[in-house]
Structure 1
């Protein structure tokens, strides 16, 4: 019967993940939030409440969450391993300043701020300190996975967040020791913190030092056999051994896996291992996110909703302020500081451990511990949403800052020039050729990064929206020799072309199209010359292919010219039709 129950729980997990997660991906809310919501639905605090109404709901719920939590924790282990695998000790050293600067400041400021809120609310010293230490840390799994989904892990935000998260993992031992000390009368919290930090440093140095002598010979032995199964087995052994060492010392097991990834990143097997470990990580990490959702009891949340919302708002605001100040102290740019503070505003899975230990040692009351655990779980649920909001606000701030520095404010003295709307890869390439021929030009773009890069290179590029007539007039559209439209968004390109043709019909418009259909639409709106984006690239590839198979250069040029003119003829006819047959070589 026990095996049947385990099989049913696995079936419920797969069905819930297969329905809810794709839905959240379709809504562009991310798989993390999808897994967490799926966990809330099928957990004992969701559909589990309906089992008493009808036993049939028992087949659609997971009642025993503890059986899945151990497997879910392995997901965090594998996630941190893959992150370590993508880094190296050299790259880790580059974020060392962020670890000690931004990470240390964030933990201290968040702990102190949340402690102050607890004390102001009437809680005792022990309660407030436990709140501060537990809620100051963020979820390594949720934050890193959210950054990976949005392709932000390798950028400034990802590096800063990773540095802070690593420092937070190092704080696990001191916090556990402090919780134990609070249960003993007369003990020194300061000495406990120092002791914990020393233990953490010794354990990490031991794992790294021992690993350097063992890991590479083991991997070379496995690689020499040519057996991928043996290579994967030894890799799993290294991960488990490192995680077990750090866990037995009171540190996070995930930190040990991260160190194992760093050690293996210096071997020649890192790329193959990344591919082999990926399926394990994705499945187990999804299970972890679902178990987080299963810890939320919707009935309990509804019963204490005002208190939970108020506490969640206060904690989030404190962590937002602490994260932002910590980043600015480390001289992180404002947009990156804003986004990093939002992505770190949620609580972490370690809060569950802290509140469980504190309740067991009678440092805080069990009822308070259960309520705090619920607040932590809900905070983890909204972490991906915080990340999205932070990214939007950072982008908005960056755009306003770029507009203030590089915007079109006064009438510019341009005449007989080419006005380029869109100064990305395509537009900057056109500008390069114009510059070589001493033809004056001016660029316009809404991407702050493109504008900043161009300005640093001395290019006449401004931040502004080319769909606004007054912006174009300030850049001398009335006196322009030609317009070039290279906007990435097809709809935006169509609006720009229509606007230019309406107000300046005598100025020729050259436009880049995403496809042949889009090119025809741009010509309808007034563009005189349109080049489908993929056309020239495909013709160049075809030309090289024909050369490799033996056609002479003259024949290749002739065939490409015919193909190019065939596409142009289709555009002018405004309807797809058969292309002229290319001449024989």
Structure 2
């Protein structure tokens, strides 16, 4: 007979799993960041909201958290994994590439903002030690929310995105001195601040030296042996062991586990295992960070928020305004425009997740009072929720401040009038440039067009015969000579734009030969249904080239290889052209017309013929 299961023991874990698998994805569809979703759910089921009503409604105990200590253990591991992955991303190459913004702008932002906020906290009556930690905690912004927001809106590569990301990198580095400072100030409760600082730095240096010395000698050989087994589950276990193990080592010296994990990440950042470890730990990072934000939500005092909403509103507004006033002049001083300065400042204005970490440890160490820690935690959560709104405001302001520059003269040059039939190449990226190079080599007249103004202006100054324009426009295609063109080559990587151009071109010239780049077999089928003459699926073409290369290297005669590759390519083309609207046939196109199975048993020669 199976043993009885204590359901209450699993209740809190099930709440986190349900939040991760069900609630957070639903909220993300509404544009709410997972970090903010976990915070909100934690606050809702915490002791100051639904959890406080269990006495009146006992059934609420099944959807509220009762054991915050158990959740806290998962939350601490989430911070450890976060610091490890931050260290893993901080490669020397990345810091060197962005050193001006990271080390210059980032350092000035952290130090300047922390100093001003610390002074304000001390001025309103907080002890100096508490004021220093409050200043450092609120000077930092939310990497988790801001980076995800920028990535979702495809703005990480914009000037404001790169500037914001550079400052966030420096803020992530600044967490380590903050953790040291907490240790120093906690020791100072029993003596002088200087003695506490010496003790904390001494313990930290010893712990880091142990991790670095052992890590340099052990980590790479250890991972080499694990990788040689080709067992993903063993590699996963090894990666988790490194993260937690280094954290335990530093914790044994009285230093934060997160510091040890961060140093281990730095050690592995320059190794060949960096990407593999990052991909392996990403799922663990997500759920453990979810537990971290969930546990922070549990500590949010919802009752106090509703009791004194104006106090929190004023505090959040003052914090964001103060950081904007500091950050905007700093960004401008580094030669960046007003729109970039304002957008970056508004994104960096709210506090971030490391305020939760700092306040939690500072409160536990007795440096910051529980009342002040709870107020700052709740204020930080509210400020993080304003990131999307502030970014929208920044975009609105930036649009009105943007200077309308005069059009680049290179972009006003239109395609020359056609003197006979020619090929029109739409898209002048790497694929389009190679197509044009081959056409020029065989003396085939062509005209190349693209819609990226900055890139086209740059290439025209370098002598490329490419013209700026939108091929989705019928008048522009007619200007290119679409009605008399020999053929149209579509090399765009954006499927929707490519499909639309194919339709317009076919309507303007029913007899035109259209050759288009396709993502895969399904996309090729769609292009054929739109009237494209020949679609080239990237996946199939790559597999044919790989097959050709391996057959050449195995010594199969070149003539046979080329003939068989052409034969397979023609078979794929026929299958896709005939597929029509039958999706099933498209999916099986790559698997049809298989060669005789006995061919695989043939022994290939070991050298070239």
State the TM-score, normalized to the length of structure 2.
0.70
Counterpart-to-counterpart distance in 1, 2:44 and 2:575:
54
Superposed displacement of residue 70, structure 1: 4.0
Counterpart-to-counterpart distance in 2, 1:582 and 1:68:
55
Equivalent residue, structure 2, for 1:422? 427
Equivalent residue, structure 1, for 2:170? 163
Aligned counterpart for 1:566 among listed residues 574, 577, 591: 574
Q: C-alpha offsets along residues 365-408 of structure 1, whole Å, 9 cap, x if unaligned?
A: 9766644331112223455x479869x959x98xx999966698
Does 1:216 find its partner at 2:219?
Answer: no
Deviates more, 1:196-205 or 1:514-523: 196-205
Counterpart-to-counterpart distance in 2, 1:104 and 1:330:
13
Find the residue that maps to 2:515 and give its secondary structure: strand
Equivalent residue, structure 1, for 2:378? 374
Equivalent residue, structure 1, for 2:561? 553
Deviates more, 1:256-265 or 1:313-322: 313-322
Equivalent residue, structure 2, for 1:78? 81
| Preserved contact between residue 173 and residue 200 of structure 1 (Cα < 8 Å) | yes
Equivalent residue, structure 1, for 2:71? 68
| Preserved contact between residue 74 and residue 291 of structure 2 (Cα < 8 Å) | yes
State the TM-score, normalized to the length of structure 1.
0.72
Aligned counterpart for 2:246 among listed residues 238, 245, 248: 238
Superposed displacement of residue 58, structure 1: 1.0
Equivalent residue, structure 1, for 2:603? none
Equivalent residue, structure 1, for 2:264? 260
Counterpart-to-counterpart distance in 1, 2:261 and 2:496:
47
- Change in Cα spacing, 1:263 to 1:388, as seen in structure 2 (3 Å) is same
Find the residue that maps to 1:423 and give its secondary structure: coil
Aligned counterpart for 2:103 among listed residues 96, 100, 105: 100
| Preserved contact between residue 521 and residue 576 of structure 2 (Cα < 8 Å) | no
Aligned counterpart for 1:16 among listed residues 7, 16, 19: 19
Counterpart-to-counterpart distance in 2, 1:272 and 1:223:
11
Find the residue that maps to 1:7 and give its secondary structure: helix
Aligned counterpart for 1:442 among listed residues 443, 448, 462: 448
Q: C-alpha offsets along residues 169-212 of structure 1, whole Å, 9 cap, x if unaligned?
A: 4245558879999x9xxx9xxxx8x9999998877665554544
Superposed displacement of residue 56, structure 1: 0.5
Counterpart-to-counterpart distance in 2, 1:328 and 1:351:
27
- Change in Cα spacing, 1:135 to 1:360, as seen in structure 2 (3 Å) is same
Equivalent residue, structure 2, for 1:467? 472
- Change in Cα spacing, 1:25 to 1:117, as seen in structure 2 (3 Å) is same
- Change in Cα spacing, 1:198 to 1:116, as seen in structure 2 (3 Å) is closer
- Change in Cα spacing, 1:29 to 1:267, as seen in structure 2 (3 Å) is same
- Change in Cα spacing, 1:78 to 1:415, as seen in structure 2 (3 Å) is same
| Preserved contact between residue 38 and residue 294 of structure 2 (Cα < 8 Å) | yes
Does 1:351 find its partner at 2:355?
Answer: yes
Counterpart-to-counterpart distance in 2, 1:221 and 1:370:
45
Q: How does 1:303-452 map to 2 (within 5 A)?
A: 303-305=307-309, 307-320=311-324, 322-323=326-327, 325-327=329-331, 329-330=333-334, 341=345, 344-352=348-356, 370-383=374-387, 385=388, 410=412, 412-416=414-418, 418-437=423-442, 439-446=445-452, 451=456
Deviates more, 1:220-229 or 1:254-263: 220-229
| Preserved contact between residue 187 and residue 199 of structure 2 (Cα < 8 Å) | no
Superposed displacement of residue 301, structure 1: 3.6
Q: How does 1:492-503 map to 2 (within 5 A)?
A: 492-502=497-507
Counterpart-to-counterpart distance in 1, 2:22 and 2:353:
25
Q: How does 1:531-542 map to 2 (within 5 A)?
A: 531-541=536-546
Count of matched residue positions in the alignment of Structure 1 and Structure 2? 564
| Preserved contact between residue 79 and residue 141 of structure 1 (Cα < 8 Å) | no
Counterpart-to-counterpart distance in 1, 2:369 and 2:90:
42
Does 1:292 find its partner at 2:288?
Answer: no
| Preserved contact between residue 424 and residue 450 of structure 1 (Cα < 8 Å) | no
Superposed displacement of residue 104, structure 1: 1.9
**Structure 2: gaps (5+ residues):** 1-5, 600-609
Superposed displacement of residue 60, structure 1: 0.6
| Preserved contact between residue 107 and residue 168 of structure 1 (Cα < 8 Å) | no
| Preserved contact between residue 247 and residue 258 of structure 2 (Cα < 8 Å) | no
Counterpart-to-counterpart distance in 2, 1:482 and 1:529:
11
Counterpart-to-counterpart distance in 1, 2:562 and 2:133:
79
